[in-house]
Amino acid sequence: MSALPQLKDAGLSLDDRVAVLTFKRDDVRNALTSTDLTSDIVTTLSWANTSPDVSVLILTGDGSAFSAGGNIKTMGERSKAAPHLLQQGYKHGIQRIPLAMQDAEIPVIAAVNGPAIGAGFDLTNMCDIRIGSTNAQFGETFVNLGIIPGDGGAWFLQRLLGYQRAAELTLTGRIVKAEEAKALGILLEVTEPDALMSRAREIAGKIAQKPPLAVRYAKRLLKLAQTQPLAEHLDVCSSFQALCHKTDDHQEALTAFFEKRRGKFKGA
């Protein structure tokens, strides 16, 4: 099994091809700024991309919140810096997360245990699947503090919900509770708090049972389809499909289908 990377403010586990990254800074409601959580997320995604033992990654928070986003207590001090330093701080800080999430080769599931606010909300929207407990809340709340989504939130939110709904949430900064989040399409499912991780692991487990290379290629196609013209996308599909046809896992999947048994896949 691949060695787990060393993290500072998060815990990481790997079991049956499912990795779980748990934010461990409940003292600041798992804020992504003024902690090492941004680096921990980026490090974990880089490790997962290169680890043949990982098929799915679950993100969740330890404590009462998924993530409060920016640390408001230190925001005023940061604002004293010169504009060019603030810009560089975003580029080399929290903006590493959307770039790493967009480059993630494995599916990422957000198990939202509590409030996901500001950049915490945006992080959930960068994931492929979101499920939340009844304690989950969401808010694109930057405007309430006189700032804007500096982490690419406007890019992700309108692709998830459409322009009009994204505009309403961004410009009002209102909080959305779990059931409304499901109705809007932010959440796939809502669970009781004590059932959240078991349900997240159940969904992840179903993905992890599939041929690993096919899962990674399918994830890449889903991301590419967001920006590619159809003809270009179809060209990539044919290339990826040709690669999949030549894998041992494809032959095993065919054999398992005809033998009416579960496939034994090796990621090769």
For residue 175, give the nearest of 222, 202, 136, 148 by alpha carbon.
136
Shared domain check, 31 and 134: yes
- The count of domains in the chain is 2
Q: Are strands 137-139 and 115-117 parallel, antiparallel or unpaired?
A: parallel
| 139 within some domain | yes
Shared domain check, 198 and 168: yes
Helix orientation angle between 212-224 and 248-258, rounded to the nearest 10 degrees: 110
| 51 within some domain | yes
Mean pLDDT, to the nearest integer, of 256-260?
A: 94
Shared domain check, 137 and 63: yes
- Determine the Cα–Cα distance for residues 173 and 246; give it in Å rounded to an integer: 50
Tell which of 173, 192, 208 closes a domain: 208
In the predicted structure, residue 150 carries a pLDDT above the cut 90: yes
Placement of tokens 């994204």 in the chain: 166
Domain containing 164 — which CATH number?
A: 3.90.226.10
Confidence band, pLDDT 50/70/90 cuts, at residue 1: low
CA 23 from chain centre, in angstroms, equals: 13
| 198 within some domain | yes
Percent of the chain having pLDDT more than 90?
89
| 268 within some domain | no
Shared domain check, 90 and 76: yes
Rg (CA), the chain: 19
Shared domain check, 245 and 178: no
Residue pLDDT, tens place only, 158-216: 999 999 999 999 999 999 999 999 999 999 999 999 999 999 999 999 999 999 999 99
Shared domain check, 122 and 230: no
| 2 within some domain | no
Shared domain check, 216 and 189: no
pLDDT at 80: 79
Shared domain check, 216 and 202: no
Tell which of 183, 208, 233 closes a domain: 208
Shared domain check, 133 and 227: no
| 3 within some domain | no
Shared domain check, 239 and 152: no
Phi and psi at 137, nearest 5°, equal: -140, 155
- Structural domain boundaries enclosing 126: 10-208
DSSP one-letter string for 209-242:
TS-HHHHHHHHHHHHHTTTS-HHHHHHHHHHHHH
Decide: 19 and 1 in contact? Cβ < 8 Å: no
Other residues' Cβ atoms within 10 Å of the Cβ of residue 113:
25
Shared domain check, 145 and 33: yes
Q: Are strands 175-177 and 115-117 parallel, antiparallel or unpaired?
A: unpaired
More confident position, 13 or 90? 13
Shared domain check, 220 and 204: no
Least confident range from 16-30, 59-73, 81-95: namely: 81-95
- Determine the Cα–Cα distance for residues 172 and 141; give it in Å rounded to an integer: 8
Asked whether the CA dihedral 169, 64, 199, 43 is positive or negative, the reply is positive
pLDDT at 72: 82
Tell which of 184, 208, 232 closes a domain: 208
For residue 38, give the nearest of 81, 80, 7 by alpha carbon.
7
How far apart, in Å, are the Cα atoms of 149 and each of 123, 142, 257? 11, 6, 47
| 89 within some domain | yes
DSSP one-letter string for 52-104:
TT-SEEEEEESSS-SB--S-HHHHHHHTTS-HHHHHHHHHTTTTHHHHHHHT-
Least confident range from 80-84, 165-169, 180-184, 233-237: namely: 80-84
| 39 within some domain | yes
In the predicted structure, residue 253 carries a pLDDT above the cut 70: yes
For residue 206, give the nearest of 56, 64, 32, 13 by alpha carbon.
56
In the predicted structure, residue 75 carries a pLDDT above the cut 80: no
Please report, as a single letter, which amino acid is at residue 99.
Answer: L
